[in-house]
Structure 1
Amino acid sequence: MTNDRTLTQTNAGDNLTNDPTLQYFTAIRQQEPDTSVAITAIRTLIDVINRSSAGTMSELSHELKSAVQLLTTQTDSSMPSVKSGCELFLRFITLAKFDTFAIDECRQKLIERGQVFLERTLSS
């Protein structure tokens, strides 16, 4: 006999498996196993921004924080490395003022700043 709690937990786990953020992260880890998990997490956050349909910076910020939470709790990768890489990335991309731009322009600026951060991280 299956109780409802077990079924709900199983379905929640299945939903996480289908999460595009986790799928992207896992795909990079499988294709490029020598790439550090922090770099993989940063690339994943750039992908989250690319895929985002957020209408405000607040919504986009919430999506990014949710993605960081997933990456630090639902992967078997080194959590401190992922968490610190994500925190540094988020700080770097949000240093600029975005209050005079439309959300699409903000998203593009965040992607550009994210790419700069990724390139600097890769070259260090």
Structure 2
Amino acid sequence: MTHATLFQPAATTRKVDHVLHELRRAIQGGQLNPGDRLPAERELAAQFGVGRSSVREALSVLQMSGLIDVRHGQGTFVLPAPPTAPPHAATPDDQLDFLPLTEARYAFELGVA
């Protein structure tokens, strides 16, 4: 799989948000499949036209979201989609989307550090 034209360079949004959006879109849209290895941080940074810290931050959020697995010394791999909960597991009022909370927490913790 060639990654040369898979991602668009960052526009005027926060660079890390753009990287996060593009990677999430590629994973959820099927351009990156479970088991696929992502390009190295340096290559992703060049493709997106951003610094490696923006790529690292986006990868960290995706890892906390369960979309990728970062294996030090081996690379970053797309994980299979988590199984959906059976209908009786929770009612719509009980279901929470923790991704925005995780992203907010991560951004806040970076600011504090």
Q: TM-score, normalised by structure 2?
A: 0.48
Structure with bigger helix share is 1
Say which one has the larger Rg: 1
Structure (1/2) with the larger strand percentage: 2
Normalised to the residue count of structure 1, the TM-score between the two structures is: 0.44
